[in-house]
Amino acid sequence: MYDGGKIIAGLLIGLVLLTFPFWYNLGKAAKLPEPKLAPEAQKAKQCVESKEYMAAHHMQILNKWRDDVVRKRYRIYIGLNGKEFNMSLQNECMKCHTSKKEFCDQCHNFVDVKPYCWECHLEPKEAKEGK
Amino acid sequence: MSFNLAFYSALFGVLGLVGIALIGLGAHLQLVFGVIIPYVAVILFFVGMIRRVVIWGKCPVPFRIPTTSGQQMTSLPWVKRTLADKIESPSNNWWAALRVATEVLFFRSLFRNLKVNLTKDGPKISYFSSKWLWLGAIAFHYSFLVVLLRHLRFFTQPVPGFVHLLDQIDGFLEVGLPQVQISGFLLLIAVTYLLIRRIVVPQVRYISLPADYFPLFLIIGIALSGILMRYWFKVDVVAVKKLTLSLVHLHPKIPQEGIGWIFYVHLFLVCVLFAYFPFSKLVHMAGIFLSPTRNLPNNSRAVRHINPWNPVVKVHTYEEYEEEFREKMVEAGLPVEKPLEEKE
């Protein structure tokens, strides 16, 4: 090989950079999210929509709820099986999913999402406990 | 090759790939498309890249190709050289490395792109600077880089801080939820521009082959499926990350929750891109570092370049000649460099 030293050095740098995800995680056991359903949620049995739908779409529902309530003064959402819900994060969602730490944050931290819900809304309980 | 053949074979090639992914999912081959194909693609990518670079490495390095003037370098100190001159006409390896860096980071050669214009009223040629290709290329490559780096959030746990920072800067518009990331749309726009340029400019269209259209369609497919997945055909992101993390942890496992079809289409197209990479023109990612007009310093006057395949020539130097015939030369009265040794 001509200029082998330089070429191999370049190859090695490239390989180290490109295999970043493989060696970065070495020895780190991935903590999988464990969103806990509060007893209130277990009693209610169903969410606004199906579980699968909520897992993928909840942020869009919340975004739409905000716009509907704040801009259009709609308050009622008709969900799964025609059940009516009050479009409110604090007064409806958090009634069942009582803990941000044990429910919301579990998955959000896992996929590195920091939603700005809490820039306006109050966090339940934990905020008080923190103080 | 005719335009139609090149264009449509590439287009239907990519559509066929989407079809393969969909048929595979229909046959419940999640394991194949979620685990086996990604691993095969990544192995092909790395093995292929190393093989390619080693093949290049075995080629003899050509004689320096001075594409610029200013070879007086450091030997004529009164000739003023600006920083640009030093980079354009490097005198040693460090300056040459800087020249390669301007090529890799800023696409220096594309920036120089000229457009030739033949005026109609007379045989006059004029040249215009043409930056559109440079602009499209730089938008495409950098947005692709940002998109790639942002995807690290699926492959690392805990996610490094710079990935989150990039995510926030990319989504600073705060439009919609999930927030619109500029890089994704910029990537799609830029790659579409590069495709349209290829179709519309007659000269480029004439020289374009399926190997030119295929990567463009493939990347359009990847960007489009990614954007559709993020904003419209939602999938369970937690399940996606469980799968991707298990892949890089080398404990592959398809999550029980199930992931939407669009994810597998996106993943399959990415796998094809990875596997195709080292065997196509896309390998310029490694090749750009080995461009002889960029990475060799212009020192052809200062340093002797010996052609590596020169045959060994038997030489008889003058010293050797004189050594052999000194006595006879002195006898004949010919001048010698070294006098005859006195015999004692």
Q: Are residues B308 and B320 in the same domain?
A: no
* pLDDT at residue number B71: 63
Helix, strand, coil proportions of chain B in percent (round to 5)?
A: 65, 5, 35
Whole-angstrom distance, CA of residue A38 vs CA of residue B124: 81
Q: Are residues B200 and B338 in the same domain?
A: no
| CA dihedral of B126, B131, B133, B138, whole degrees rounded to 10 | 160
- A129 has a pLDDT exceeding 50: no
Which H helix or E strand runs over A78? strand A76-78
Q: Number of residue pairs across A and B with CB atoms under 8 Å? A: 88
**How crowded is residue B293: how many other Cβ atoms within 10 Å of its Cβ?**
14
**C-alpha distance from B174 to closest chain A C-alpha (Å):** 10
- Quick one: CA dihedral B242, B243, B244, B248, positive or negative? positive
Collapse the DSSP code of B21 into the 3-class scheme (helix H, G, I; strand E, B; otherwise coil) and give the result. Answer: helix
Q: Are residues B269 and B300 in the same domain?
A: yes
DSSP letter (8 states) at residue A76? E
Contacts of A101 (CB under 8 A, 6+ apart): A126
Q: Touching check for B292 and chain A: CB below 8 Å? A: no
Whole-angstrom distance, CA of residue A102 vs CA of residue A39: 12
Of A2, A19, A111, the CB nearest to B238: A111
Please, which pLDDT band fits residue A131 given cuts at 50, 70 and 90?
very low
Whole-angstrom distance, CA of residue A111 vs CA of residue A33: 9
Which chain B residue's Cα is nearest to A5? B57
Residue B212, both tokens: 């030119």
Q: Do B159 and A112 touch (CB under 8 A)?
A: yes
Collapse the DSSP code of B328 into the 3-class scheme (helix H, G, I; strand E, B; otherwise coil) and give the result. Answer: helix
Contacts of B330 (CB under 8 A, 6+ apart): B336, B339, B340
B311 burial type by CB count under 10 A (0-12 exposed, 13-18 middle, 19+ buried)? exposed
Q: Which residue has the higher pLDDT, B289 or A98?
A: B289
Specify whether the CB–CB gap between B247 and B38 falls below 8 A: yes
Q: Are residues B197 and B298 in the same domain?
A: yes
Collapse the DSSP code of B96 into the 3-class scheme (helix H, G, I; strand E, B; otherwise coil) and give the result. Answer: helix
Residue B202, both tokens: 């007659």
For residue A3, give the nearest of B196, B28, B97 by alpha carbon.
B97
Interface confidence (ipTM) of the complex: 0.88
Q: How many domains does chain B have?
A: 2
Whole-angstrom distance, CA of residue B219 vs CA of residue B270: 8
- Quick one: CA dihedral B328, B330, B336, B340, positive or negative? positive
**What residues of chain B, 59 to 98, have a C-beta less than 8 Å from chain A?**
59-61
Q: What is the CATH number of the domain that holds B8?
A: 1.20.950.20
List the Cα angle B87/B93/B96 in 5-degree steps: 30
Q: Are residues B50 and B105 in the same domain?
A: yes
Q: Touching check for B43 and chain A: CB below 8 Å? A: no
**C-alpha distance from B135 to closest chain A C-alpha (Å):** 26
Q: Are residues B119 and B129 in the same domain?
A: yes
Q: Are residues B105 and B152 in the same domain?
A: yes
**C-alpha distance from B75 to closest chain A C-alpha (Å):** 26
Q: Touching check for B212 and chain A: CB below 8 Å? A: no
Average pLDDT estimate for A48-65: 90
Collapse the DSSP code of A85 into the 3-class scheme (helix H, G, I; strand E, B; otherwise coil) and give the result. Answer: strand
Q: Are residues B49 and B153 in the same domain?
A: yes
Q: Are residues B121 and B216 in the same domain?
A: yes
Return the percentage of chain A with pLDDT > 70, whole number. Answer: 94
Residue B14, both tokens: 């990519």
* pLDDT at residue number B344: 59
Average pLDDT estimate for A5-22: 93
Specify whether the CB–CB gap between A114 and B164 falls below 8 A: yes
Each residue's pLDDT expressed in tens, for chain B with a length of 344 residues: 889 999 999 999 999 999 999 999 999 999 999 999 999 999 999 999 999 999 999 988 888 887 776 666 667 778 788 888 888 888 888 999 999 999 999 999 899 888 888 877 777 888 888 899 999 999 999 999 999 999 999 999 889 999 999 999 999 998 888 889 999 999 999 999 999 999 999 999 999 999 999 999 999 999 999 999 999 999 999 999 999 999 999 989 899 888 989 999 999 999 999 999 999 999 999 999 999 888 988 888 788 888 888 888 899 999 999 999 998 999 998 988 888 876 65
**C-alpha distance from A129 to closest chain B C-alpha (Å):** 26
- A25 has a pLDDT exceeding 90: no
* pLDDT at residue number B186: 97
Domain span holding position B324: 314-344
Residue B2, both tokens: 């005719």
Which chain A residue's Cα is nearest to B179? A115
B335 burial type by CB count under 10 A (0-12 exposed, 13-18 middle, 19+ buried)? exposed
**How crowded is residue B217: how many other Cβ atoms within 10 Å of its Cβ?**
21
Q: Are residues B152 and B27 in the same domain?
A: yes
Q: Are residues B195 and B159 in the same domain?
A: yes
Q: Are residues B332 and B273 in the same domain?
A: no
